[in-house]
Amino acid sequence: MTVILDGKALSNKILDDIKHKVSNLKTKPGLAVILVGNDPASSVYVKNKEKQALNSGFNSYIHNLSQNTTKEELLDLIAKLNCDNNIDGILLQLPLPKHLNAYDFLDKVDPKKDVDGFHPTNSGNLMINEKPYAIACTPKGIIRLLDEYNIQISGQNAVIIGRSNIVGKPLSMLLLNRNATVTIAHSKTKNLSHITKSADILISATGKKNMVTKDMVKQGATIIDVGIMRDSDGKLRGDVDFDNVKKVADYITPVPGGVGPMTIASLMENTLELHLLNKG
């Protein structure tokens, strides 16, 4: 029978454990989130992060900057947060408005406060399999979910659809470091279904509806759906044709309730780990 990978239940377990650990600390971890502009989806994500941070017993600092914030103003804020002893984690909510380039800022965050793991020092350390200060939250949460269900990674064929810097690339490194044979597919990949059919573990991170259909999946595979989109009926959907793919998969994540909650749990875990690193 197909097992539904319950990211919501596991994230609740992780968050309870964090809350318990924080209640025994002398000082509270501090998470600063910078939101530039008023992208509606980003505003919802930031509110959710604040809610979870407060729920975990952290101090939460939201910096809501106007749409026309200049490069200098944003650099100035990051420099201040780098020096602020109350702050353990700094998160720059992406995407930024068009006139700002994320890569002008991500490497200005102190790597020891880089709660998203996007600083080149942290992503570079991930690449050479040396422990980064923090690992990108979504990939970290996916590995944690696979481990929770004792899904073998070593020696398995893992196929990732999507090559973004926040999901596909760091996830490929985590899987490779755990001895999977990794293929990254993307929008220019030929014969995608031929590649996906070889996957013991198939992860889709495109944001495209029905990207993964039943005929693309090997019997008994593990399916991880990272995609999030709002369908015409207003409901959240992922990349995977869940109802049909579930018939051939051994393990599958739902949307919502799969990877999303694991991303948030990893963010809280990273904040606590950086707090212990900086003040422990």
Contact positions toward ligand NAD, by CB under 6 A?
138, 161-164, 166-168, 185-187, 189, 192, 205-208, 226-229, 259-260, 263
Find, among 75, 65, 136, 64, the residue nearest to 109 by Cα.
75
Q: Which is nearer to ligand NAD, 132 or 227 (CB)?
A: 227
Burial call 17-40: b when 16+ CB within 10 Å, e when fewer = ebeebbeeeeebbbbbbbbbbebe
What's the closest the beta carbon of residue 208 comes to ligand NAD, in angstroms?
A: 5
- For 174-229, the DSSP string reads HHHHTT-EEEEE-TT-SSHHHHHTT-SEEEE-S--TTSB-GGGS-TT-EEEE---E
What's the closest the beta carbon of residue 147 comes to ligand NAD, in angstroms?
A: 17
Rg of the chain's alpha carbons, rounded to an integer? 19
What's the closest the beta carbon of residue 161 comes to ligand NAD, in angstroms?
A: 5
Residue 217: beta bridge partners?
none
Question: Which residues make Cβ contacts (< 8 Å) with residue 18, sequence separation at least 6?
Answer: 56, 57, 265, 268, 269, 272
CA–CA separation, 55 and 111 (whole Å): 25
Q: Which is nearer to ligand NAD, 87 or 185 (CB)?
A: 185
> Which amino acid does the sequence have at 109?
V
- For the chain, the distance separating the N- and C-terminal CA atoms, rounded to the nearest angstrom, is 45
Q: Which is nearer to ligand NAD, 119 or 163 (CB)?
A: 163
Residue 84 has a CB neighbour count (10 Å cut-off) of 14
Active site residue 219: no
* Candidate list 6, 110, 116, 200, residue with the active-site label: 116
Tokens read off for 250: 């051994």
Q: Which is nearer to ligand NAD, 26 or 190 (CB)?
A: 190
What's the closest the beta carbon of residue 228 comes to ligand NAD, in angstroms?
A: 4
Torsion region of 155: left, alpha or beta (phi above 0 gives left; psi -120 to 50 gives alpha): left
* Candidate list 6, 52, 88, 93, residue with the active-site label: 93
Active site residue 49: yes
Shortest Cβ contact with ligand NAD: which residue?
207
What's the closest the beta carbon of residue 104 comes to ligand NAD, in angstroms?
A: 18
Q: Which is nearer to ligand NAD, 189 or 198 (CB)?
A: 189
Active site residue 188: no
* Candidate list 49, 169, 218, 246, residue with the active-site label: 49
What's the closest the beta carbon of residue 8 comes to ligand NAD, in angstroms?
A: 12
Q: Which is nearer to ligand NAD, 87 or 245 (CB)?
A: 245
Q: Supply the residues annotated as catalytic.
A: 49, 93, 116
